[in-house]
């Protein structure tokens, strides 16, 4: 394939190319790659100086990154993402709302309880809107197949992810799915990983800076042959590397306090969608499975 043909032509191509080449990048280029994957709107709309400052790199490093992907410089890469945003007017409006919201929060002093509540509500609203962009219907369908086909589901989420993991484990049990909640009490997470079998599924939930216990459990389960469904804020984070499927969630952060609204919304969606799937007559589910297998051939 020639260099011209290898240059990403769409935002989806760019994302796929970064994920494909990520492991071959140097540490600095991986840092930029994570920023591009996690903040594509910023890359499309901000100046190179602002992007470099936010990514904690030099502007020249972003230019090198773009050239490593086949672009002549940073501007063509930004233009590709900007064109993608312009094709989705609602997303462009969303990106502008995010910047205005962050600027407003940075300018406003804390002191008015009503105003503070409005800030958190607005932040969560934006995060929920973003969730519709990062998790597609196809992603949800794939996740449901993983949950449905698993003999046993293990759910792990430590520290900030704990509320999401506990809710998901409890709710999966309520809809009749055999589920174990790995809570890490007594430091037994590694020992619990030894019970994971190849026909099991591990739902692993972690966000930057990523809990070591969650990463270790996920890697051990992957080594045991189990499938991994990751709920995380980056497609190249440590739990994403061993995952069969990554559902990317970016919760809001207001005054350095991170919310869990979008993560819990996603967890609820998975449980309710699985409940509908489990209630379908067995014959209908078999027909659906056969038609899906035939379509994939």
pLDDT single digits (tens) 121-175: 888 888 888 888 889 999 999 999 999 999 999 999 988 899 999 999 999 999 9
**For residue range 6-62, what is the model confidence (pLDDT) as tens digits?**
788 888 888 889 988 998 999 999 999 988 888 887 787 788 888 898 889 999 999
- pLDDT > 70 fraction of the chain, expressed in percent and rounded: 80
**For residue range 168-179, what is the model confidence (pLDDT) as tens digits?**
999 999 999 999
Q: Identify the bridge partners of residue 155 per DSSP, sorted by sequence position.
A: 181, 203
CATH number of 3-86: 1.10.10.10
Q: Are β-strands 253-254 and 257-258 bridged in parallel, bridged antiparallel, or unpaired? A: antiparallel
Q: When comparing pLDDT for 213 and 254, which is higher?
A: 213
**What pLDDT score was predicted for residue 140?**
95
Q: Number of helices and strands (H, E) in the chain?
A: 15, 7
pLDDT tier for residue 295 given thresholds of 50, 70 and 90: very low
Distance between CA atoms of 108 and 105, rounded to whole angstroms? 5
**What pLDDT score was predicted for residue 144?**
96
CATH fold label, 137-296 = Rossmann fold (3.40.50)
- pLDDT > 90 fraction of the chain, expressed in percent and rounded: 42
Distance between CA atoms of 22 and 236, rounded to whole angstroms? 8
Tell me the domain boundaries of the chain: 3-86, 137-296
Distances (CA, A) of 194 to 206, 242, 258, 285: 20, 17, 33, 32
pLDDT at 93 over 60: no
Distance between CA atoms of 270 and 211, rounded to whole angstroms? 23
Token representation of residue 198: 């190849």
**What pLDDT score was predicted for residue 146?**
97
Q: Give me the DSSP letters along 241-280.
A: GG-SEEEE----EETTEE--HHHHHHHHHHHHHHHHHHHS
Q: When comparing pLDDT for 91 and 288, which is higher?
A: 288
pTM: 0.72
pLDDT at 3 over 60: no
**What pLDDT score was predicted for residue 65?**
94
């Amino acid at each position: 394939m020639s260099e011209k043909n290898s240059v990403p032509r769409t935002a989806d191509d760019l994302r796929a190319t970064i994920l494909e080449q990520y492991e071959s990048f140097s540490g600095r280029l991986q840092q930029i790659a994570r920023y591009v994957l996690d903040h594509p709107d910023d890359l499309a709309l901000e100046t190179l100086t602002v992007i470099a400052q936010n990514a904690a790199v030099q502007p020249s490093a972003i230019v090198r990154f773009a050239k490593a992907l086949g672009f002549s410089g940073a501007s063509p890469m930004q233009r590709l993402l900007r064109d993608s945003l312009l094709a989705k007017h609602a997303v462009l409006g969303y990106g502008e709302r995010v910047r205005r919201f962050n600027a407003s929060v940075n300018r406003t002093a804390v002191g008015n309880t009503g105003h503070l509540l409005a800030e958190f509500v607005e932040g969560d609203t934006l995060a929920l809107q973003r969730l519709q962009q990062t998790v597609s219907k196809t992603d949800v369908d794939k996740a449901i197949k993983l949950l449905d086909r698993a003999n046993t589901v293990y759910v792990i989420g430590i520290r900030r992810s704990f509320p999401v993991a506990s809710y998901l484990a409890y709710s999966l049990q309520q809809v009749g799915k055999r589920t174990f909640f790995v809570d890490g009490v007594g430091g037994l997470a590694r020992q619990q990983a030894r019970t994971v079998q190849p026909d099991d599924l591990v739902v692993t939930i972690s966000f930057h800076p990523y809990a070591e216990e969650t990463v270790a459990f996920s890697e051990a389960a992957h080594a045991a042959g189990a499938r991994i469904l990751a709920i995380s804020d980056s497609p190249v984070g440590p739990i994403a590397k061993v995952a069969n499927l990554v559902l990317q969630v970016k919760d809001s952060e207001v005054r350095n306090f991170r919310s869990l609204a979008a993560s819990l919304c996603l967890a609820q969606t998975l449980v309710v969608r699985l409940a509908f799937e489990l209630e379908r007559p067995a014959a209908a589910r078999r027909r659906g499975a056969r038609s899906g297998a035939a379509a994939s051939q």
